[in-house]
Amino acid sequence: MKVAYEHIRKNVGSSFYAHKFEDRNFVHSYHVHEEAELIYIKEGRGRLVAGDYSGRFEAGELFLFGANLPHAFFSDTLQDAASHRVCSLYVQFRPTCLGAAFFDLPEMEEIRNILRKSAQGLKFIGFDSDRIQTLFDQILQARPAIRVACLIGFLDQISCCRNRMLATKQYLRAEVHHESERLNKAIDFIHRKFTESIRLNEIAAAAYLSPEAFSRFFKKYMGIPFIEYVIRLRLSEACRLLLETDMSVTEIAFSVGFRNLSNFNRQFLKHKGMSPREFRKLEH
């Protein structure tokens, strides 16, 4: 199974990413990222693949995947019914997000151990589901400084739970289909510059490739053309601004990097299935 590299964007003003995912199915491909991932399946069922492990997952289950462990959730086909929804709550964080030596502190021994074991992937057993959902809600809703304390508290809570390792000790991490340093340089460049006019030769130079080689390289390892990635990134930011600000559609279009309104509207309709104004009304 091919492994796709996923670049995780942190929440604004945060050192990690927390999110509530809701859809008709879990649609993520078999992927890997440099962040550890703590995920609670609130609704949904299907098959989980993590390293060389493959098994069932059900609603009410909690997992921790270590950094760089390939994994994916595949929904049962029965869940294609329009009435069915899946929902997960998750936090993605780098083990160094609170400082390179933070988890080396003596007080962090139990958390350090659980993070070490998560390299094989962990499924937790016998926890209080209501308490877990409360902890996720706190991380999603708390003020920035409190979010850090909530994350530490969450990790401390699960470090006391029984758990089962998923991937075997003999598992050697699948070869990740990316050249991490080069790809990270390119993606970091895009995320810093996506609201501006990004020239292909500039991003290619950041990855130490010719423009033609970079185009092939990016599509090979990210699965989509470079310009499509930029468009999706701009539209994601546009959606945030539509929901969180009173900026006009025109102001938003130009602020996220589009150079004309008609192209913005066309791309938004193509990717979201509705106009920006319809999206704003629907979500409000």
> In whole angstroms, what separates CA 205 from the centre of its chain?
27
270 confidence band (pLDDT: 50, 70, 90)? very high
Q: Where are the alpha helices (DSSP H) in 50-179?
A: 109-117, 129-141, 144-159
Domains, the chain: 4-165 (2.60.120.280), 180-283 (1.10.10.60)
**Is the full-model pTM beyond 0.75?**
no
| pLDDT tens sequence across 88-130 | 999 999 888 888 788 889 999 999 999 999 999 999 999 999 9
State the pLDDT confidence band at 175, using cuts at 50, 70 and 90.
Answer: very low
Cβ(15)–Cβ(97) under 8 Å? yes
Per-residue pLDDT reduced to its tens digit, 8-35: 777 667 789 999 998 888 866 778 888 9
d(CA 58, CA 38): 16
User: 3-state DSSP call for residue 234?
Assistant: helix
